[in-house]
Amino acid sequence: MNVASTRRLLALRAPFHASLSPDGARLLLTTSHVPLDSLDEVLCTTVVTVDDGTEHPVPALADGDHSAVWAPDGIGIAWCTSTDSISVAPSLEGPARMLDEGVPVAGAPVWSPDGRQLAFPAHRGGAVDRSAPFRWTRPILAFDGLGALDDPPQLRVVDVVSGEGRWLTDDEWRWNTPVWAPAGDRLATSVSIDPTGRTSGSWLRVVGLDGTVTEPDVPGGRGVVPAWLSDDRLAVLVAEPRTGALGGAAALFLVGSDDVQRIDVPDLYGDVYADNPAILSEAHDHLLLVDEHGRLVIRTGARGRMGAIRLHPDRPTEIDVVADGDRCCTTVALAAGRLVITSQTSLSPVEVVVVEPDGSERALTAFGESLPGSVSSRRFTVDGPDGFAIDAWFLSPVGATGPLPTVVLLHGGPHFTYGEGLHLDAHALVEAGFGVLYPNMRGSTGYGDAFAHAVHGDWNEGPTRDVFTAVDHAVALGWVDGDRLGVTGNSYGGYLSAWLVSTTSRFRAAVIENPVTDLVAMYGTSDIGATYFPPQIGGRPHEAIQRYLDQSPLLQAHRCTTPCLFVIGEDDRRCPPAQAWSMHRVLVDVGTTSEMLVLPHSSHEGSTYGPVAGRLAHDDALVEWMTRWV
């Protein structure tokens, strides 16, 4: 039987995509949900009246159509169809007309300022026939979550009236959703997955309608988000600029006609990870918005929370807080002085909220109103052994007293953060009677560069001290039973879980999801291995082999006596399944209880965004394993 809380939370509508009309009066909203009696995710698009929150169907769209966007006139719409094409309609009522039929789109369409053209990323159709022998030059065959790299999306523009389309780009980079310049003569966007494999992350590009591509002198980063100002300057938000170390603070850049200015503003971008299917709250396309006065509205994040600020690029020290508090917000859309954001906490799912020009807020959705309110959350901060303050959250059943058997939940990255985000697996554990403790150990973002960079060259010992500092404090508070502990985590969280159970005996059980166990093998087999691990570990394997070996859980696994359940996505390119299989083989060989849960057709984040059967199987197994052993 599937975990009831996971089923219940997946059945809630989760925001997937949104578009605000130019007058700020109506919101086109696509949501996803999984009906209680189904294993299929359902997409539904409606129009929400912002004044009163009433919601109505969009007659022009068919079942499964999604990502509808308003035309500049606030009447017409365009959207992605369930068959990966682009359709348009003169109004919400239709009639629908398909454009560019046969060209598979790879992102939502974007209207030109005059409403005559649509731009979007799409596949050219140049995929290699992999059923026959083929030759290859890229260093990797596929990228996690995206699949094969032989037909990367390129930019395409289509005339709305004639239906005539043309390609603007034709190269081996992966082109993302573009942003039109005010004059409609250029588009700014980011490209990713360097064909040579020598750089990582995303990079800014500007493309003219004649196909001319320019590369402004803005550094690449883990994320790059452009937005045009009315005076034709380009603002660019860059997460972890490649001019610094991985995990470094985000920066804002202002691109003029003859110069590029860097603007350092604290806590930009934000990065709190949540384990729920609300794509809109995780999307990065709208983290930088421009209002009618030329001010920038930017998502921020620090210490497990996310909010938004407003500033003028020419007066960056004059900052207005637009959204804050003990929650995680993501900027979505801005029009006529109204800002649309998402908002969630560790207890409440993602809702859509409007911030009025006077700063007042009003929820437009109430997706989580039916939840029973059976989970409580407490946050604490404790001084760590190396001068760092460690934040942690403790979730437990409402009304529970006394020390609880507790599962320690470790985030990936290591340059991510836990905090005020909703975790389906944590709620499943709480429903089963567990406490769930998630600490932000060194490496986490939102705590300054020194904290984020402290993990470089030390993936194991320092973070271990941080985790046990949080655990010991929660035990001292009387919340956690220190003799009944489990540990779990995905990606780097899987790595640290594997390290902890191989080098300590404090945990009765572990569920280790898509882990890193062999750092040497990761360098050559992970889709990001060759660019990610040298700055993390301190060199390539041949330059720092002892450090790679000393910090690989696989070489400590023979000491593990903790029952371990490994969860792997069969299509994981980030931490390939062999990483888990290798440690499982060692544990079986030495007689330690070990099992594997394989999620077919699942990538690295498959238990959050993959096939529904895999998401349910993951939470089922997590609760069953911890119940059995802890």
Provide the angle, in degrees to the nearest 10, between the axes of the packed helices 424-431 and 612-629. Answer: 40
Is 263 part of a structural domain of the chain? Answer: no
- Closest Cα partner for 491 from 510, 463, 522, 514? 514
Q: In this model, does residue 227 exceed pLDDT 90?
A: yes
Is 608 part of a structural domain of the chain? Answer: yes
Residue 357: Cβ within 10 Å count: 11
Per DSSP (E only), the strands in 345-434 are 351-355, 361-363, 375-383, 389-397, 404-410
Q: In this model, does residue 152 exceed pLDDT 70?
A: yes
Q: In this model, does residue 438 exceed pLDDT 80?
A: yes
Q: With beta carbons less than 8 A apart as the criterion, state whether 462 and 454 touch.
A: yes
Question: Which one-letter DSSP state was computed for residue 102?
Answer: T
Is 511 part of a structural domain of the chain? Answer: yes
Question: Which one-letter DSSP state was computed for residue 558?
Answer: G
Q: With beta carbons less than 8 A apart as the criterion, state whether 21 and 74 touch.
A: yes
pLDDT bracket for residue 2 (50, 70, 90) = low
Is 108 part of a structural domain of the chain? Answer: no
Q: For 394-402, what is the mean pLDDT?
A: 95
Q: For 92-111, what is the mean pLDDT?
A: 95
Q: In this model, does residue 299 exceed pLDDT 80?
A: yes
pLDDT bracket for residue 516 (50, 70, 90) = very high
d(CA 534, CA 549): 14
For the chain, the first-to-last Cα distance in angstroms comes to 20
- Closest Cα partner for 202 from 537, 531, 536, 450? 531
Percent of the chain clearing pLDDT 90 (strictly above): 97
Antiparallel, parallel or unpaired: β 174-175 and 186-192: antiparallel
Q: In this model, does residue 148 exceed pLDDT 50?
A: yes
Residue 311 is predicted with a pLDDT of 96
Q: For 334-349, what is the mean pLDDT?
A: 97
Question: Alpha helices of 460-611 — where are they, by DSSP H?
Answer: 461-476, 492-503, 519-525, 529-533, 545-550, 578-590, 606-609
608: domain CATH number is: 3.40.50.1820
Q: In this model, does residue 560 exceed pLDDT 70?
A: yes
Over the chain, what is the mean pLDDT?
Answer: 96
Q: In this model, does residue 385 exceed pLDDT 90?
A: no
- Structure-token pair, residue 613: 């059967």
- Structure-token pair, residue 83: 């068959």
Domain hosting 516: range is 375-629
Residue 402 is predicted with a pLDDT of 86
pLDDT bracket for residue 271 (50, 70, 90) = confident
Question: Alpha helices of 126-257 — where are they, by DSSP H?
Answer: none
Is 490 part of a structural domain of the chain? Answer: yes
Is 232 part of a structural domain of the chain? Answer: no
Percent of the chain clearing pLDDT 70 (strictly above): 100
> Going by C-beta distance under 8 Å and a sequence separation of 6 or more, which residues neighbour residue 515?
489, 491, 494, 495, 497, 498, 553, 566, 575, 579, 580, 583
Question: Alpha helices of 324-456 — where are they, by DSSP H?
Answer: 424-431, 449-453
Q: For 349-369, what is the mean pLDDT?
A: 97
Number of domains in the chain: 1
pTM of the complete model: 0.96
Residue 587 is predicted with a pLDDT of 98
Q: With beta carbons less than 8 A apart as the criterion, state whether 554 and 517 touch.
A: yes
Q: With beta carbons less than 8 A apart as the criterion, state whether 89 and 60 touch.
A: yes
Residue 1 is predicted with a pLDDT of 44
Q: With beta carbons less than 8 A apart as the criterion, state whether 510 and 595 touch.
A: no
pLDDT bracket for residue 617 (50, 70, 90) = very high
Q: For 100-114, what is the mean pLDDT?
A: 95
